[in-house]
Amino acid sequence: MTGKLIKVDVHLHTCLSPCAEITQSPKRVVEKAYEKGLNLIFITDHNTMANTEAAMRAAKMFDDLRVYPGMEITTSEEIHTLALFENPEDAYSVQDVINNNLPDVYYEKEKAEQILANEDDEVEGFYDKSLLSAVDLSLDEILELIHSNNGLAIAAHIDRPSFSIISQFGFIPDNCSFDALEISPNMNIESAKEYYKEYFSRYKFVKGSDSHSLNMIGSTYMEICGKDNSFEEFRRYLYG
């Protein structure tokens, strides 16, 4: 394929994810991504995309960096699935369903660790759903929900020993309608193609940093060739 080289990270958290560092604000995530030369990133907090628009606004000052909405959804089987979208409207439609199937926070301390921040690095509030809980929807239901709202569904970190489809099921069922499989920073894609060769003919493999701290941003990413760093070009890569 001809075109320009695009550096992509499909899996980034902000301070809204309770397992992420407090310094991981939308503004700082975007600044660090730009500093590291990334061109296309998805903000994928646990079970929510509420900090994504702040990151998108913060990115407007940077040339050649596009930020898109996403979330890392935990299914009822405790399988982490990346949901990636072109526009916030589709992501919010999924968000509404997720919120209706997610418990409220159990403790005030939990709520205080789920920080809503704006593009100016200011705290605007705290999220009142328990973001590290599983959503009361199965994997099949989540995949249907993502696709019915024009999103891409990617099996998160399939090589990890927990919260991946392989750790939970032991394999990837033939009827799973994933658009791609993500490999964690612990493995490179070439090794994954050999280790998971039974899936390579069915899916593209992608990479994400799964960054929970600023120093992880830019440590792992994938490279694609395309005409630009748009969502549609990323989709074309997955199905090209």
What pLDDT is stored for residue 2 in this prediction?
67
**Which DSSP string do the residues of 209-236 spell out, in sequence order?**
--BSSGGGTTTS-EEEEESSS-HHHHHH
What pLDDT is stored for residue 12 in this prediction?
98
Q: Give 10-residue mean pLDDT values along the chain (240 residues).
A: 88 98 97 98 98 98 96 98 98 98 96 97 97 98 98 98 98 96 94 94 95 97 96 94
Domains of the chain as residue ranges with CATH: 4-239 (3.20.20.140)
What's CA 131's distance to the chain center, in Å?
Answer: 14
What pLDDT is stored for residue 3 in this prediction?
83
**Which DSSP string do the residues of 145-210 spell out, in sequence order?**
HHHHTT-EEEE--TTSSSSSHHHHHSS--TT---SEEEE-TTS-HHHHHHHTHHHHTT-EEEE---
What pLDDT is stored for residue 240 in this prediction?
81
